């Protein structure tokens, strides 16, 4: 059996650039020691939901040909949604800045507050919809009546 290719190529330059950016930010935040703020969490949430979408598509295309790796990708997809949910919750528990006003909870009916509240809540609602669509069984018609 031939080994899987693991060499670095230019096949995915944008993913490598995003990874390099996250590594840089991690090193920088380690040296400054600054706590997270709402803008920081909004950008991080954007990365997590972007990865969530990518893993969803990779799982869908991988699973038919390779069921075991496809299941692992699907599980990673679910875990990323959970991570994004926790970042979203952290965003709303941080003190509001004067620019965004007080918004202790995410309320889709009051999303007129503008960025970053608007963007993070919209992304969270969209990713939640996608995960429910994937994990909730569809109704396949009426169930047969039970007999006693």
- Encode pLDDT of 127-142 as tens digits: 888 777 777 766 545 5
Dist. CA 52–CA 74, nearest whole Å: 10
- With 0-12 / 13-18 / 19 or more C-beta atoms within 10 angstroms meaning exposed / middle / buried, residue 45 is buried
Q: What is the pTM of this model?
A: 0.70
**44-54 tens-digit pLDDT:** 999 999 998 89
What rounded mean pLDDT belongs to the chain?
Answer: 78
> Residue 61: pLDDT above 90?
yes
C-alpha dist (Å) from residue 67 to 62, 63, 127: 7, 4, 23
């Amino acid at each position: 059996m031939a080994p899987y290719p693991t060499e670095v190529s230019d096949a995915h330059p944008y993913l490598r650039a995003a990874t390099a950016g996250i590594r840089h930010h991690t090193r920088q935040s380690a040296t400054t020691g600054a706590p997270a703020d709402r803008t920081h969490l909004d950008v991080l949430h954007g990365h997590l939901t972007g990865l969530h979408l990518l893993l969803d598509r990779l799982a869908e295309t991988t699973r038919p040909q390779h069921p075991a790796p496809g299941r692992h990708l699907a599980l990673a997809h679910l875990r990323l949604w959970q991570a994004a949910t926790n970042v979203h919750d952290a965003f709303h528990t941080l003190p509001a800045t004067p620019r965004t006003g007080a918004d202790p909870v995410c309320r889709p009916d009051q999303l007129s507050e503008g960025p970053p509240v608007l963007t993070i809540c919209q992304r969270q609602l969209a990713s939640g919809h996608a995960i429910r669509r994937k994990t909730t069984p569809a109704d396949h018609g009426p169930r047969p009546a039970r007999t006693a």
